[in-house]
Every structure is written in C-alpha cells, then in structure tokens.
Structure 1
Amino acid sequence: MCTVCGCSDGNVKIEGRAGEAKGADIDAGAPQQGGHGPGHSHHHHDHSHHHHNHHGHGHHHDHGGGHDHGAGVDHHHYGAGAAGVSVAGVSQTRLIQIEQDILAKNNAYAAANRAVFAERGMLALNLLSSPGSGKTALLVETIKRLKDRFAIAVIEGDQQTSADAARIRETGVPAIQINTGKGCHLDGHMVGHALEDLSPAPGSILFIENVGNLVCPAAFDLGEAYKVVILSVTEGEDKPLKYPDMFAAADLILVNKIDLLPHLDFDIAQAVGNMRKVNPAVKVLEVSARSGAGLERWIAWIEAALALEKVSNETTVTPAI
C-alpha cells in the first residue's frame, strides 16, 4: 500500500472557505492534546513537512514466498507476503512495522476528528470510488435534495485542481478543496486541518469526497461514521474481487449510473454477488445521478444515519434502510 511505496510524498494544499489555496504542507506526526477540530491551533505546522518515505537500503530478498517458477506460471504475486505488499530491499517484517507506525499516527488524528463530530452531533461520510464513477455528480444531486432541510459541508480530495470544490459551492454549500499532490488519498490530519476552516455547524452532514482510488483510501480512517463506496456500471462486475480491501471496508455500496444499463452488458446481480463475497452483510443501493433513480433510498439512508449520530456518540449500527 502507499504507506510503504512513497506515493504520499509531496505538498498538500488546503483551500480556505472562499477557495483560496493556503499552500500548507501537512505534517504526519501525532496530534497534540485536544485534537484538531475547530478552534485548535496548528501554527506548529507552518514550516515544511513531508510524509516519511521509509525505504530501507538492505539488499536481502524477503518476498514472503518462494521462487518456484515452474512451467505454467503466468503471473507474479507480490502481495503474497505477510505485509500484503513487496518493496525491493525491504523485509516483510519491516514493511509491517512501517505500515503499523503510519496507520497508528493517522488513527490518532481520526480519533480527534471523530470526537469533534460526536461533540457536534454531526454525520461524516467518507465517499470512495475509482476515478470516473460519477461520485461528484452524485454528491451534487444529493446536496440538492438535502440542503433545504439540513446544514451540509463538503471536503473535496483530489491530487490537483479545485474544480470539484467549485462545483459543490455552486449548490450554495460550503466546500474546501484538499489537493494531495503526489498523495493518492486523504488522511485524518488533512481532514482535521480542513475542519478548522470549514467549521461545520452542529447537527450537520459532512461529506468527504476522497481521492479517486480503490486501493489506499480503504486503509485510512478519517474519523467518519461510515465509508460509502461508489461503483459505476461502466467499471465491470469484477471490481470488488480485484480490489477487495475497499469493498470489505464499505458500510454501504452505491451502484451508480444505472441509467446506462440498457446500453451495457453489466450484470448487477453478478456485481452484487462479488461484493458479498468480500463483505457478506453490506447494504447495496442502485442509483443514477443523471435520472434520479434510486436517490430516494440513498437520501433515506443518510437521514437515518444522521438520526443515529444525534443520539449516540459512537454509532455501531448501519442504518437499516
């Protein structure tokens, strides 16, 4: 995963509420006492920081598996070791330690975010998908159906540009763009910084649209109540099997762009069956941002989730919609 391959390196830029880029690098260290919700100062991050690239320099080859390449072998399985990944010159034991260290730091920031959400009775949803799934279009249509009844705020994650945040702000809802640079996912610390500027209202719904990626974001808790994974019908029924970590982490899966089904060979039953192979109890809803089909059930799910957050500081039950 990206915690060991180095793709998290690079400057992270977070907009202010009006859309101006702040250009601050984000430190990967542990949070200070009190977390980093609204009102917590981050002046100690004004100087340049980078996520750590822990590439060892040894040259022994601990691949977590043998090298019996007999006749008929037609693939190389670099995820077979205990760490689930292979990096040249780094042992499986070292890879596991690196990943545990990075995720532990992230989890501390996520816990601070979760405390802010609980204190304010907010619902935070982490929206995840591959690029081109229609995630932003679906979010825009969702906001239109909710904004007259609920306070809403949005954190947008992309490697570059603020196009999606600008698109969200056109709905009249406040949004902040996080550009991750070379990074391929949001993390708890980035979200905490964005929360300071966004300052969502108590009882509000916070949508966090993660960077389009079906691999790394699955491992990084942002403090959200639920992970919502979007799969479009243009992507293929086998995505849940190819990217099982993401679909296993999902609390809800939305099958988007169902208006295109008459023009495709996509088999929804097969896709849902594959989802249930990696996540047997997951809830699946079929929707279309373009036609509006199925959106009423998605909206009902959000409303039920928000009601749960308002009565519990730590929700453990997925909305039964």
Structure 2
Amino acid sequence: MKNYILKDENAVYFESGFSCDNVLFLRLGSEGFFITDPRYSTEAKECVKSNIEVIEARDLHKQAREIIRKSKINKLFFNPSDLTYGDFLGLNKKLNIELTPKKEFSKQMRIIKTDEEIAILKEAVRLGREGFKTLGEVLRVGQGLSEKEIHYRAKECMSFKGEYDLSFDPITAINENAAKPHALPTAKNLKKDDLLLIDAGLKYKRYCSDRTVTLSFDDGLDIENREQKFKNKKWQEIYDIVLKAQRNAIEKARIGMRASEIDALTRSVIEKAGYGKYFVHSTGHGVGLDIHEYPTISAKSDVIIEENMVFTIEPGIYLDGDMGVRIEDMVVMRGGRAEVM
C-alpha cells in the first residue's frame, strides 16, 4: 500500500517512532507526514524518524486535506475502526479523492516481527515473569485477600510500582469466578486450597507481554510451576487437560501450518476429553504494540504461520458456577517451530 492515513497511536508509532493522542499520519508513496498540534510538535520533531516531516497545525483535518490536494493522489486508504465518522467527514470535506476503507491494514503490516521487535518482546515477557514472581511472594501470605485486593497487588507488581505501563487491566479470579474468561474482580476472599486464575502483562518500549497462570492456593504455592496440584480431583482433571492441550500446540506448531491447524492442536485434546463446549474462545492471538494483533489463532483463520510471527497459546476450560482454567504463554516462530518466549 502506498497511500494511507492513520490515527491509532500504536499504528502511528510503528510508522514514525513516536506518537501522541492528537495526530494524523499520512503515508503518500515514499513520503511520510506527522501532523499534530503545538502541544506535541517539539517532541515529535525530536523523536520521529528522520525521513518523516513533522507539521504543526491547529486543524489537523484541514492540514491533511492541503497535503493530499498537493499530492494529486486519487485514492487514500483508511482503517474504518481507526477513524471516527467525524474524522471521515473532516477529511472528505471538499476533497475530490476516493477514501477507501481497508480493515486493520496496519496490524496486517505488523504481523511478522523484526528481530529488533522480537528482542523487545522477549524483554517484555522476561519482565512480566519477574512481575509474576513478585506477585507470587505476595500471595504466599495472601490468605484472606479479596479478588479486588489481589487485582490491586497484581497491578502494583506487574508495573514494578509504576515503572512500566500494563498491557491490560489484570484478571484475578477465584474458583467459580474463574469460569468467566474476562472476570471482573469481586470481594470474594482467597482461602486455602482455592483455585486462582491470574492474567496479566506489561509493556516494555510500548510492546506488550501477556501471560495467564492458574494455580492452587496451598502451602506449596509456586506461581511459576505449570505442574499445579489441586486437592479437588475434578479441578485437577481439568487443569491437566488444559496443560496437555497447550503443550500439544507448542510442541507441534510449525511454519507453514494454517492458524486453524494450531487451534485444532489445543481444541482436539479438550474435545477428546469431553470438554469441547467449555472451551469458549480461540487458542490465541498475536501480540506486539497492541495486546491483540495478528495472527488470530482460531478455528476460522486461514492465515499461514510464518517465521517471526508472535502469538499466544492459551487454551481454557470454563465450568459455569464451579471453576475455570486457562494456561497462556507467548511464543515466537523461530527455526520452523514455536519457541516459548
């Protein structure tokens, strides 16, 4: 694609090396234009890539229209989930070009990560693991903490007390609340032998990490150990099935597979065990500047998996009113197969 406009902060950052909350980015052939207001223009001039022109403007739409007119292009692509209807009207005002919607084209451009991006993502994952370890120390004496208190502690630990931004608001769910894949924290208190699900991540240089642990709250609490032991036999059965499903996908995922085939590697294990209808989401999603990127690892995805793609593998089983288990790690496709980051 040669001619397009962006507003989304992460999409703009990918193009220019800088972003802010009031920007329009134009790519017209080999030329790039970062249009922003006086609050951000000085820093933008210091931070954007050298081949991109920073333009200060009070009316971003008017400035964009002037640049587009001078370029004499006849078609400009935009992401319909990026620009608002107001943006569309502002850009299209007295502008005789074809504004063409193309869904999530920036994410498509970012689907294969560079070696530099993978190094940053690996550091994000490493820091995320350290955050989980710190949270594990808190939980060792966590009996009586509510889901809301654990949620607060998770934010504190995962951000290293504010040093890093979070990838998303953490999920902290006990027993039956863990049956909700995106559970909101409640006043429910943590007791001995409870099941606790925690989904959290942080950002390093704007790139996200994402990890989910499901653990048994007992005297031997180990947040890092995937071999969790539950006193409740049913919970143990479910946990072992989910772990087997995740490991099956990690071990067998290969370059050249369709994303749907990787989804089948987790789903088939869970279906064979009789819990297929309780696996209610896709196997995974790409991770990068956004917490949800391409490729989508789902039963409907025909995307061919390629070297340097990064995504999660996170099967789950959710039994309403009882419990839920999800086990999630990020992987990068390297040397033809999945490498846990």
Provide TM-score, normalisation by structure 1: 0.26
Higher strand share: 2
Larger Rg: 2
Higher relative contact order (CA 8 A, sep 6+): 1
